[in-house]
Amino acid sequence: MARPAARWAARWLASSALMLFLVTAATFVLASMAPGDAAKAILSSQSGSYTQQQYLQLRDELGLDQPLTAQYWHWLDGLLHGTLGTDLFSGQPVTAELNARLAPTLSIILGTIVVAGLAGVGLGIVSALRGGVAGRAVDAISLLGLAIPNFWLALVLIELLAVRVELFPATGYTPLGADPEGWLRGIALPVITLSAGGVAFVAKQTRDSMAEVMSREFVVMLRARGLSGRSVVLRHALRNAAIPVVTVLGLLLVSLLGGAVLIEDIFAIPGLGQLAVTAAGSHDLPVIEGVAFYFTVIVVLASLLVDLSYWLLNPRVRGS
Amino acid sequence: MTPATSLVAATAREPGVLEVRDLTVRYHRGIRKPPFTALHEVSLAVGPAETVALVGESGSGKSTLGNAILGLVPAASGTIAFRGEDITCARPRRRRALTADIQAVFQDPYGSLNPVRTVGQTLAEPLLAHERREVRGAERTARVRAALEQVGLSADDAARYPGQFSGGQRQRIAIARALVPSPRLIICDEPLSALDLSVQAQILNLLRDLQGDLGVSYLFITHDLAVVPHIAHRVAVLYRGRVVETGPARQLCSAPRHPYTQALVAAAPMPDPVQQRARRRAYRAYQAADEARAPAAALSDPP
Amino acid sequence: MTAGRGRALPGRALPGRALPGRALRQMASRPLAVASAAWLVLVVVAAAGASSLAPYGPQATDLAHVMSGPTAAHWLGTDRLGRDVLSRLMFGGQVTLLGVAEALVVFAGLGITLGLAAGFAGGWTDRLIARFGDLVLALPGIIVLLMVLAVYPGSELAAMIALGAISCPVLLRVVRGATLAIRGELYITAARLSGLTGPRIVWRHVLPRLAGPVIVQLSLFAATALLAQSALSFLGLSTPEAQGPSGGNMVGEASTVVSQDPWLLVPSGGALALTVMAFGLLGDAVRDVTAGRHLAPPVRVRPVRAPSKPMPGRPKGRAPGTAPAGGSMLSVRGLTIAFGDLVVVRDVGFDLSPGEALGIVGESGCGKSVTVRSLLGLLPGGGRVTAGSALFAGRDLAAASERDFRRVRGSMIGLVSQEPASGLDPSFRIGSQLAEVIRRHAPLSRGQARARAAELLAQVNLPPGTLARYPHELSGGMAQRVSIALALAPGPRLLIADEPTTALDVTVQAEILGLLRDLREQTGMAMILVTHDWGVLADLCDRAIVMYAGQVVEEAAVGDIYASPRHPYTEGLLAANPHRTPAGGVLPAIPGTVPPPSAWPAGCGFRPRCQYATDACAGGPVPMTAAGPGRLVRCIHADTLVARR
């Protein structure tokens, strides 16, 4: 029993390490291809002009004149010792900066997954079972949710629910520990915005999956044995329809990382996405690497959860 | 003499159309599991204008044998000879040329025809592949029409799509496609199993008549022993990849000698209630004796 | 009976025209698809011809009319610099659509090539490409886009190429999956055996089938790319304002003045949303149309004709309204079932006595399965009983509500179906499925239910270890025994077995038949066995009804039917049965094919294939008439035929 599990764990570790390596290395390469570098950006922001000597000196201080592989190796070495380097601009340790911004981004992303997951699955089940008008309505809503650009929706929601009617704050973020109600209000609009597309995505997949399962022979046989409609749907059909839905939720999480960037910009939320944009613009290499690393870790953990649920849901996977 | 060698010896005088000797086929199931032996040293021979039936249940390897002869699966050892030529390891080009001589009809009349191509286009395919100078457009059309008429359909059907035909008609189309290149040997892999009873007899008769008219040989793969005496001259029974009995069709079906063949014959229900009652009692007695003899080696329900 | 190869009779092929044209026609009949296509054409034309078609230049200001709503001069209003919104949208459309096109080209090129390569090469190439695709798909794409934009600041081309590249695994997966599926199709094997070379097979057979799924994915990605492109330009990362308007930065501008002029948000956002929707709807339409492409074209359905006056003849048995035979457990009269307008079962009647085994025998499409499933209210979608009655335990099952059915299902009537393993829920162990059914029908505790489950397994000759297994771990015979145990669990008085052994090997079949017989002896259950196998019928049943073209054509005790069939169809089937004809001569065959429900002949359904048919047979519906004690036939010539034989 332990052997296949150990093998599987080893395979997972290997592919996760590979992904982390690829992402961070590719980020490194791309960042170094970008015109300009941190030294130039720092000097430009401090005083309008600078001498070549100052520039070269700063480059040497920051270690930017070393070959790429050495820089990357240096970064990896730091990683294995638990540090991600220091922000080239602020001098702060990168880990501290990133951790400070982790909570807002995670709040929004996880909040969206929960809302989109519950609402999407519910809508999907209803439209799979009812069909007819309810099904058509869900289709229409899904289409709208997928088609409306989320930045546009954010602006509309801000105008309607934060400016005209001051129900929610237009910008900013309140930590959960400090003020739970404020936290909830702060993430409400961002979560609603991102959920619009997410719900549609999940509902569509749930409906397709449920419709397919309900047409299978074993569902007819369950009814033939006298089981109630509710038990057939909720206990049996849902369980068998779950795998594609879980897959979709995993994909949603990955796409939300991109959505976070957009939403944090509009709602002025101090999260990882916002940091990613500014760091990319200013060539702050350690911070960029750090954000890439954190994002990839989130993706890796999400796919781990997805794989675990496959294992739980599908006995055939377990047996092999 | 083992069943296999006796069969081969009997045909040693005639130039066989097909001769399979000690054929072994293995499937690999990944790095960790040992390979699965689908066929173990199977030997078989088919003469000109002759039908040899290959009988077995699921997992017996009968379809694998057909696929090996057609070159769809590789042989691990043994030989397959067609008209004296060893084709076991034939190269792709030789295989393609061989399709003019060895053809196949499959069990599934719905899957074996591409639904988005007309019957005429599908039937013309074997002629496209062997584009010898003589077979041009007009002659191709003529041969396609001739094949359709040979199987009891009309020449106009060439313009229609498979979806417009019933299962029995599609099977006729599949047979027509097999006939188009004028083959010597047709592998029939359960051609009747997916058809209605009233149509099975039609197709069976069609196959017999074609053999009489064209002199083509059949390897007739089936799980239904009842059909065998009506179409086959000789029969080989497969069980878990091995030939357990061979012999003339009528004789083997009425008086089987191997216990497995006997079980097959006894298990098939007879469409006659009075007879069936008697057979049932006999089968029950046989089963009890079989279990007493070797309780672990039950012949039914393979894993 | 006419022997011989049975010339296929004319007039049975269904009409239809060329398929690709039909796909387009089907699309044309869907209003949403047409509207989407029209909108997209409009957008492309407006954007491409912006320089000539737009009323104003993109930067032409009209400071007199700043932030006006829609007016005659400015159909969509003006922005804060007095620039015409409609014109800016049209020019912006160029940028946006160009970006989408760039991403699409990369997406399609990479996705299709890699997908085909993976699907055809197989082995290591396939695994490598698939793994690589999964990896790319899991990348946080935003990082890649940000970095690419850092390398090429403001370059939409670079961003779109990157977007196409990191999204291509989606198309890769679809193409690879479709290629693998198509390669596994039997007609591909047949094409290989016809001697076609690999590339030729790809060209003739594989690529045409790929077109549908690929188009669907392309349109879905176009929608995604549009949203991504506008988001990037909204953030100011690509297409900076200086380069000109685009959907995204127009929304951005609108947001800065949203309190003064909220209208500005509408045209920009609306145009984007409508275009995205159009792409999505088009993709859905293509998917729906190509999914059903290889089914037979829908057949013109004849309306059900009202039954004309029945032919004069013997007193009718089993007609609607006839009193049920005394003491029968199930009495069916005049049962008629239709799917929409299509009648598939007409005027079916029979009686079942307690403890009796009745066989319903016929070929595919005769309606036997539909008949028995209607008794449990389990007709597939769209099917309903339109006439007749089925009296059972004081209820009329033909007119029962879902609640009535729930009381009957399982506890009074059990069902065993043809598919052994797929009749079981693949996600639950056997023990848990058994316990669930047991506890549904009896108030037992978990432990008691488990004990009962073990008992049931013993009854069907399965070891108790089976309780812990999953359905996919069982052989066909074992799975069918489990199905039988599940049907027996609530202790029904009637068991309906719908082709229970068709999917099993003959030796396994013999065991299951023996099991069914033993169970009947033990419990005294009645049984309705649906089958197409006359041997199974002879083995298990006491009485039989023969169905053809949705009707019962003969009913008799099993011994009588085999010894002296009265209906020409029954006679023909028995004669064509290889078991019953000595080998050597030609097998007597019934000419022609079974008609589908849409093409049933008027009058006697069997007439076109019957060697005894006369003109009178086409006159009108034929009633069931008595043909001896306990025998019924639906044939006007039944008596004369008896004399002839």
Q: What is the pLDDT of residue C18?
A: 45
Q: Residue C204: its chain B contacts at CB < 8 A?
A: 117, 125
CA B80/CA B64 separation, integer angstroms: 13
| CA-based nearest distance B75→chain C, Å | 18
Query: What pLDDT shows up at residue C1?
Result: 31
How far, CA to CA in Å, does C21 sit from each of B116, C16, C299? 12, 11, 17
Residue A320 has pLDDT above 50, yes or no: no
Shortest distance between the Cα of C590 and any Cα of chain B, in A, equals: 6
Q: Is A230 a residue whose pLDDT tops 70? A: yes
**Residue B142 to residues B85, B135, C246, Cα–Cα distance (Å):** 32, 10, 62
Name every chain B residue with its beta carbon within 8 A of the beta carbon of C186: 106, 108, 111-112
The pLDDT assigned to C299 comes to: 30
- The C-alpha of A143 sits at a distance from chain C's nearest C-alpha, in angstroms, of 7
Strand, coil or helix: what is A177? coil
The answer on pLDDT for B297 being more than 50 is: no
Residue C294's closest chain B neighbor by CA?
Answer: B115
Which residues of chain B are within 8 Å of residue C578 when distances are taken between CB atoms? 201, 204, 224, 226-227, 229-230
Q: Using a CB–CB cutoff of 8 Å, tell me whether B169 touches chain C.
A: yes
Same domain flag for A157 and A34:
no
In this structure, the answer to whether residues A73 and A134 fall within a common structural domain is: no
What percent of chain C is predicted at pLDDT more than 70? 90
Q: Hey, what amino acid is at C539?
A: D
Instruction: Give the chain C residue whose CA is nearest to the CA of A23.
Output: C139
Assign B45 to helix, strand or coil. Answer: strand
The answer to whether the Cα torsion of C236, C241, C243, C247 is positive or negative is positive
- At residue B93, the pLDDT reads 86
Q: Do B116 and C6 touch (CB under 8 A)?
A: no
The number of folded domains in chain A is: 2
The whole-number average pLDDT for the span C625-641 is: 86
Q: What is the mean pLDDT of chain A?
A: 83
A42 and A179 share a domain?
A: no
User: Does residue A92 sit within a domain?
Assistant: no
| Lowest mean pLDDT, pick from C23-32, C113-122, C202-211, C550-559 | C23-32
Cα–Cα distance, C102 to C164 (Å, whole number): 8
Average model confidence (pLDDT) across chain C: 83
**Where does the pLDDT of residue C481 fall: very low under 50, low under 70, confident under 90, or very high at 90 and above?**
very high
Contacts with A170 (C-beta within 8 Å, 6 or more apart), sequence order: A158, A162, A163, A189, A267
Confidence of residue B300 (pLDDT cuts 50, 70, 90): very low
Question: What pLDDT shows up at residue A319?
Answer: 58
Is-contact C389 A186, C-beta < 8 A? no
Interchain contact, B129 vs C15, CB within 8 Å? no
d(CA A200, CA C280): 12
User: How would you class C297 by CB atoms within 10 Å of its CB: exposed for 0-12, middle for 13-18, buried for 19 or more?
Assistant: middle
The pLDDT score that the predictor gives to residue A2 is 57
- Predicted confidence at residue C7, as pLDDT, reads 40
Give the torsion sign (CA, B266, B267, B272, B276): positive
Q: Residue B290: pLDDT above 80?
A: no
Burial class of residue C321 (count of CB atoms within 10 Å of its CB; 0-12, 13-18, 19+): exposed
B281 touches chain C (CB under 8 A): no
Smallest CA–CA distance, residue B99 to chain C, in Å, is 6
* A64-97 residue pLDDT tens: 777 777 878 888 888 888 777 777 777 788 888 8
Of residues A57 and B212, more confidence is placed in: B212
Longest dimension (CA), chain C: 106
What is the C-alpha to C-alpha distance for residues C313 and C640, in angstroms, rounded to an integer? 14
> C166 CA to chain A: closest CA distance, Å?
12
User: Touching check for B160 and chain C: CB below 8 Å?
Assistant: yes
CA dihedral B266, B269, B271, B273 (to 10 degrees): 90
The pLDDT, as a whole number, for residue B135 is 56
What average pLDDT score do residues B165-169 get?
A: 88
Residue A7 in any domain: the answer is no
Minimal-distance CA residue of chain A relative to C279: A147
Q: What is the average per-residue pLDDT within C129-154? A: 82
C122 touches chain B (CB under 8 A): no
Judge whether residue A293 has pLDDT over 70.
yes
Given an 8 Å threshold on Cβ–Cβ distance, is B116 in contact with C293? yes
What integer pLDDT is reported at residue B77 of this predicted model? 93
C12 pLDDT higher than 50: no
Q: Which of A189-198, A257-266, B123-132 has the lowest mean pLDDT?
A: B123-132
**What residues in C contact B63, CB-CB < 8 Å?**
none
Q: Cβ of A225 and C489 within 8 Å?
A: yes
> What's the CA gap between C208 and C199, in Å, rounded?
13
Q: Report if residue A88 sits inside a domain.
A: no
Q: pLDDT of C391-446, one tens digit each?
A: 998 889 999 888 889 999 989 999 999 988 888 999 999 999 999 999 999 999 99
Per-residue pLDDT at C454 exceeds 50: yes
Cα–Cα–Cα angle for C37, C42, C43, nearest 5°? 100
- pLDDT, tens only, C299-326: 322 233 333 333 333 334 455 555 555 6
Q: C-alpha distances in angstroms, B130 versus B13, B99, B141, B146? A: 32, 9, 15, 18
Average pLDDT on C597-617 reads 88
Rounded to 5 degrees, what angle do the CA atoms C609, C614, C620 make? 90
CB contact under 8 A, C409 and A148: no
Nearest alpha-carbon partner for C473 in B166, A318, A200, B179: A318
* ipTM > 0.90 for the complex: no
Q: How far apart are CA A139 and CA B223, in angstroms?
A: 49
A107 & A60 share domain = no
Range of the domain at A43: 13-80
Residue B200 CA: distances (Å) to CA of A314, B146, C504, C576, C583: 41, 23, 19, 8, 15
Contact between residue C19 and residue B163 where contact means Cβ atoms under 8 Å apart: no
pLDDT of residue C314: 34
Report if residue A305 sits inside a domain: yes
Contact C279, C219 (CB under 8 A): yes
Window 441-500 of C, Cβ < 8 Å to B: 475, 477-478
Q: pLDDT confidence of C88, banded at 50, 70, 90?
A: confident
Which tokens hold the place of B252? 């083997």
Residues A141 and A253 in one domain: yes
CB atoms under 10 Å from CB of A174, counted, come to 17
* pLDDT at residue C424 in the model: 93
Question: For residue C459, what pLDDT band results from cuts at 50, 70 and 90?
Answer: very high
* Digit-coded pLDDT (tens) for B70-122: 999 999 999 999 998 999 988 888 888 888 899 999 999 888 898 888 999 89
At residue C367, does pLDDT exceed 50?
Answer: yes
Same domain flag for A158 and A206: yes
User: Which residues are registered as beta bridge partners of B245?
Assistant: B237
Q: Domain ends where: A80, A114, A131? A: A80
Residue of C nearest to B281 (CA): C514
Report the CATH number at residue A307. Answer: 1.10.3720.10
Long-range contacts from C555-558, C-beta under 8 angstroms, 24+ separation: C555/C318, C555/C350, C555/C624, C555/C631, C555/C632, C555/C633, C556/C627, C556/C628, C556/C630, C556/C631, C556/C632, C557/C630, C557/C631, C558/B273, C558/C359
Cross-chain residue pair C594–B273, CB shorter than 8 Å: no
User: What's residue C645's pLDDT?
Assistant: 61
Look at residue A128 in the predicted model and tell me its pLDDT. Answer: 81
Q: Is the pLDDT of residue B277 over 80?
A: yes
Q: How confident is the model over C226-276, as pLDDT tens digits?
A: 988 888 888 877 766 666 777 777 887 777 777 777 777 888 888 888 888
Whether residue C153 is predicted with pLDDT greater than 90 in this model: the reply is no
Asked if the Cβ–Cβ distance from C140 to A156 is below 8 Å, we say no
The model's pLDDT over C63-84, given as tens digits with 9 standing for 90+, comes to 777 777 777 777 777 777 778 8
Report the chain B residue with the minimal C-alpha distance to residue C543: B273
Domain boundaries, chain B: 2-101+183-299, 108-182
Phi, psi (rounded to 5 degrees) for C374: -70, -25
Residue A93 counted as domain residue:
no
Q: Is A142 domain-assigned?
A: yes
Q: pLDDT confidence of B211, banded at 50, 70, 90?
A: very high
Quick one: closest CA in C to B95, which residue?
Answer: C195
Q: Which CATH number fits domain B2-101+183-299: 3.40.50.2300, 3.40.50.300, 2.60.40.10, 2.40.50.140?
A: 3.40.50.300
* Same structural domain, A67 and A194: no
Cβ under 8 Å to C: A residues 19-38: 19, 22-23, 26-27, 30-31, 33-35
Residue-by-residue DSSP string for B236-270 = EEEETTEEEEEEEHHHHHHS--SHHHHHHHHHSPP
Report in angstroms the alpha-carbon separations of B99 from A40, A110, B64, C209.
Answer: 72, 60, 18, 25
Give pLDDT tens digits for A209-221.
888 898 889 999 9
Residues A106 and A216 in one domain: yes
User: Residues A168-187: what's their mean pLDDT?
Assistant: 82
Q: Identify the closest residue of chain B to C541 by CA–CA distance.
A: B273
